[in-house]
Structures are given as structure tokens and as C-alpha cells.
């Protein structure tokens, strides 16, 4: 995955190093952090475009994010797309969890899946919940999953 900041600046160093430097800097500046990871996707023509974000929240002081975009030419159902989104978020969370534990930074994995059964994305809710919780992560779904449903959604 290739990462960038919201302003388009590429993150050239390995993700773990960039995140650790970010945590050190923010803590040195006196901020208490929480990290929320989420992915969203959208079908555009014949492709599925994905955006995964790592949102760094400063307690009572706003936040910022790292962004990774990707696309797939493969056709897939909505349910499969939802599970792929969750898989991408869990993959990033798994890479970062030891580092975040080391610096005592809370972690949440957000899924762009609606908790209301009236919505089609709800078909993947049980699987996504089991997957994320089974990995030991804190899980948020819509309407509380802002990392995926707001942040990632805006940068697809």
C-alpha cells in the first residue's frame, strides 16, 4: 500500500516508521491520541475504487489522516466488497497494533456497514463484526464508523 497525507504529500518511509514518528511528535506536543482505521469503496465504471484511512484523533483537538487508494477491476457483490473493506482495515490495524500498544494509543476499526437491516450493506454485518472482534479489535459500524463512512468516503 502507498500512503499519503490529505494534502497529497506522499509518505515515502515505511508505514510503521511514519506512524511511530507521528505518535512521538504528537505525544511530545502534549496530545492524547486515538487511532481509527477504516476503508470505503465505490464502483466507478468497471472498477472498484478503495480508500483506506488511518485517522489520528487528538483528544479535544481535531485530527488528521494518512490515506491509501487502490482499485480493482474485478466484479464483486456488495457483500464481498464490504468484507474486502473490512479485511483491508484489519490488515492495517494488525500491522500497527503492537506499535499502538507500545505507545498506549487506543485503536478502533471502523466498518462502512449499516446496523439497520433495511440497508443492503447490513448483510455483511455479522461476518464483519465476528472478524474484527475475533482479531481483538474495538469495532464500530454506522453511524459511529466515521473513519470509513466519512473520512475514507471523501478520498475515494
Largest CA distance in the chain: 46
Q: Which domain covers residue 114, as residue numbers? A: 3-154
CATH code of residue 134: 3.30.420
Is a pLDDT exceeding 90 seen at residue 155? yes
CB 58 within 8 A of CB 32: yes
The whole-model pTM stands at 0.93
Is a pLDDT exceeding 90 seen at residue 153? yes
- Report pLDDT for 116: 84
114-129 pLDDT per residue, tens? 888 888 778 888 888 8
Mean pLDDT across 15-24: 98
How far is Cα 145 from Cα 150, in angstroms, rounded to an integer?
A: 8
Mean pLDDT across 136-142: 93
Beta bridge partners of 62: none
What is the percent of the chain with per-residue pLDDT over 70, rounded to a whole number? 100
What is the percent of the chain with per-residue pLDDT over 90, rounded to a whole number? 80
Is a pLDDT exceeding 90 seen at residue 79? no
Mean pLDDT across 36-55: 96
Q: How many domains does the chain have?
A: 1
CB 28 within 8 A of CB 108: no
- Report pLDDT for 114: 85
- Report pLDDT for 38: 98
Amino acid at each position: 500500500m502507498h500512503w499519503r497525507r490529505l494534502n497529497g504529500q506522499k509518505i515515502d518511509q515505511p508505514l510503521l516508521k511514519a506512524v511511530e514518528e507521528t505518535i512521538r511528535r504528537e505525544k511530545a506536543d502534549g496530545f492524547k491520541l486515538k487511532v481509527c482505521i477504516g476503508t470505503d469503496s465505490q464502483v466507478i465504471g468497471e472498477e472498484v475504487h478503495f480508500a483506506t484511512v488511518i485517522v489520528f484523533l487528538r483528544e479535544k483537538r481535531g485530527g488528521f489522516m494518512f490515506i491509501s487508494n487502490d482499485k480493482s477491476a474485478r466484479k464483486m457483490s456488495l457483500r464481498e466488497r464490504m468484507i474486502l473493506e473490512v479485511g483491508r482495515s484489519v490488515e492495517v490495524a494488525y500491522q500497527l497494533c503492537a506499535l499502538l500498544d507500545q505507545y498506549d494509543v487506543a485503536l478502533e476499526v471502523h466498518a462502512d456497514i449499516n446496523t439497520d437491516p433495511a440497508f443492503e450493506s447490513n448483510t455483511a454485518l455479522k461476518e464483519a463484526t465476528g472478524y474484527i472482534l475475533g482479531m481483538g479489535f474495538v469495532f464500530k459500524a454506522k453511524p459511529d464508523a466515521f473513519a470509513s463512512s466519512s473520512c475514507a468516503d471523501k478520498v475515494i
